[in-house]
């Protein structure tokens, strides 16, 4: 299988993760305007699973080092399979709740609460589980990125000023989403032998196998989580499975593309974790908020008519993000 041997390549893979995790949501904007998120999400989940299969039989099965995908999955023990599968369930619950939080409370609340909590707590969880890198630089970088996320939310709120009171429901859902998002990566990392991808311990899995099992966890749990959301949506009227099959092929393909993009980012992040460590890989990956902000500012023109002072906040946010990401990269050397 393909294994990252150099730290600089691992960092590059994490940057690709940032690009993917920060860009996949654009596909929802590109889907039909009448296409509900709950319906889009089914195609998105299918895309994630599809990419995990492609990666498993290509990068996960070529070369002479490490175990090939089929050999690896056959020897994986139940505990590690269960851990990666649980990671998929936890991620799916977090992702759906996060999307609901955006719909209820808006990005200005959901992003700093959910993603800010996920970034800080998730990096700490992964670092103490597998201590790799300079803790001082790592935590300093995380702190700068967390401040940048808060400033990003301030800029968004300033440009979308409203007298409406932020709902307690939206804040609570954001907190739960962030808490769950903090833990999903740890479940996947625990199923792999992060110290030795070339000759993984018996029972442990390679990143490619872990990603596949993780994707199955997402798909299986979606029949529960997303079905409930379709019947009892946070926003809008209920939708049915028959509505899903009314979508045209191009609309479905856009959703699948979103899943492929996210799956590429997650796969590269897991592959990089062996060299960079799970804390640094996860922290860099969650810098995806920077990429999402770039899309919002330069492509979707979300701050086009923003009031005076907003551009200063945006500039400060970008500088803090870049500085924080730089500290994370240096921390891993």
Bridge partner residues of 205 (DSSP)? 192
200 touches 206 (CB < 8 A): yes
What is the b/e burial string over 258-269, where b = at least 16 CB atoms within 10 angstroms of the residue's CB? Answer: bbbbbbbbbbbb
The DSSP code for 201 is P
203 touches 75 (CB < 8 A): yes
265 has a pLDDT exceeding 90:
yes
The tokens describing 128, both together, are 């103490």
Please name the residue ranges forming H helices in 160-240: 168-190, 207-231
Distances 93 to 174, 182, 228 between C-alpha atoms, Å: 12, 12, 11
Instruction: Place 287 in a pLDDT band, splitting at 50, 70 and 90.
Output: confident
pLDDT in tens, 141-172: 999 999 998 898 888 888 776 545 557 888 89
Nearest to 52 by CA among 219, 198, 272: 219
Distances 271 to 17, 209, 231, 261, 289 between C-alpha atoms, Å: 11, 11, 37, 16, 21
115 touches 244 (CB < 8 A): no
Nearest to 202 by CA among 284, 305, 79: 79
Nearest to 290 by CA among 113, 115, 30: 115
Instruction: Place 97 in a pLDDT band, splitting at 50, 70 and 90.
Output: very high
pLDDT in tens, 226-252: 999 999 998 889 999 999 999 999 999
Separation CA 329–CA 325 (nearest Å): 6
């Amino acid at each position: 299988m393909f294994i990252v041997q150099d730290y600089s390549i691992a960092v590059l893979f994490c940057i690709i993760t940032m690009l993917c995790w920060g860009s996949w949501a654009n596909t929802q904007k590109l889907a039909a305007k009448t296409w509900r998120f709950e319906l889009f999400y089914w195609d998105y989940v299918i895309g994630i699973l599809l990419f995990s299969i492609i990666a498993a039989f290509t990068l996960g099965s070529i070369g002479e080092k490490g175990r090939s995908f089929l050999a690896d999955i056959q020897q994986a023990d139940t505990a590690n399979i269960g851990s990666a599968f649980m990671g998929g369930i936890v991620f799916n619950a977090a992702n759906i709740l996060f999307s609901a939080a955006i719909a209820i409370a808006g990005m200005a609340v959901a992003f700093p609460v959910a993603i800010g909590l996920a970034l800080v707590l998730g990096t700490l969880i992964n670092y103490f589980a597998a201590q790799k890198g300079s803790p001082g630089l790592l935590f300093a970088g995380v702190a700068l990125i967390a401040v940048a996320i808060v400033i990003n939310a301030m800029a968004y709120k300033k440009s979308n000023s409203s007298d409406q009171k932020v709902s307690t429901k939206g804040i609570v859902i954001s907190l739960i989403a962030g808490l769950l998002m903090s833990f999903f990566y740890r479940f996947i990392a625990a199923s792999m032998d992060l110290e030795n991808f070339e000759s993984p311990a018996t029972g442990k899995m390679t990143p490619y196998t872990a990603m596949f099992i993780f994707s199955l966890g997402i798909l299986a749990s979606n029949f529960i989580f997303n079905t409930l959301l379709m019947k009892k949506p946070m926003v809008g009227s209920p939708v049915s499975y028959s509505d899903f099959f009314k979508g045209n092929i191009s609309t479905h393909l856009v959703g699948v593309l979103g899943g492929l993009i996210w799956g590429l980012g997650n796969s590269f992040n897991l592959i990089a974790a062996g060299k960079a460590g799970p804390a640094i890989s996860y922290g860099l990956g969650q810098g995806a908020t920077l990429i999402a902000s770039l899309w919002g500012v330069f492509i979707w023109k979300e701050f086009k008519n923003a009031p005076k002072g907003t551009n200063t906040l945006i500039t400060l946010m970008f500088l803090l993000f870049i500085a924080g990401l730089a500290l994370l990269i240096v921390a891993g050397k």
